[in-house]
Amino acid sequence: MLKRFLPDQHVKDIFEITPESLKEKNIKGVITDLDNTLVAWNEPHATDKIKIWLKSMEDSGIKVTIVSNNDKKRVKLFSSPLNRPYVYRANKPLRGAFLKSSKKMDLNKEEIVVIGDQIMTDIWGGNRSGFHTILVVPILQSDDKATKLNRKIERFILRKLEKRGWMKWQG
């Protein structure tokens, strides 16, 4: 049961994920969460560092789609200036948004990685949809109201995964 929450990989932040490291795994597409993965949950726009990261992916031929459980206004405000495809109100961990994104990218599951900061939504959803998953440490230790309960459950799961020796969490 716990293995459904186990990411294939975990890193400190999105910037540890490079086009070169993805290409080594034959990854051609990224489905990434927005809040606390790309920017802090209360930051409306992309930072210069995120813009550079996204450009490096694009220059390497890696497609990036932003998939968020947040509302249209929030996700569009962030994604549109970057000219990035997005899915809002994704209902992660349900599979629909993940599968819709892979179809839009015209890539196979084996060619896509799901990146996010939450085990309960991003990693579980990516795993149950058959994608490679990467867990990042949340940018901020604070969350909006809707995420706080998930974080409590997540800390419990992370302790169990560590206790079994399946991963060492850096968060």
Domain total in the chain = 1
Q: What is the rounded distance in angstroms from the CA atom of residue 142 to the CA atom of residue 147?
A: 9
Domain membership flag for residue 42:
yes
pLDDT tens for 85-121 read 999 999 999 999 999 999 999 999 999 999 999 998 9
Residue 49 domain flag: yes
**CA nearest neighbour of 32 among 126, 139, 137, 155:** 126
pLDDT tens, residue by residue, 117-171: 999 899 999 999 999 999 999 987 766 666 666 777 788 787 878 888 777 766 5
Return the CATH number at 157.
3.40.50.1000
Amino acid residing at 74: R
User: How close are the terminal C-alpha atoms of the chain, in Å?
Assistant: 22
- Does residue 169 belong to any structural domain of this protein? no
Residue range 27-51, pLDDT digits in tens: 999 999 999 999 998 899 999 999 9
Query: Which residues are 9's β-sheet partners?
Result: 134
Query: Within a domain: residue 115?
Result: yes
Range of the domain at 121: 2-163
The answer to the question of residue 78 being in a domain is: yes
User: pLDDT class for 76, splitting at 50, 70, 90?
Assistant: very high
H helix runs in 10-142, sequence order: 19-24, 48-59, 72-79, 96-105, 124-128
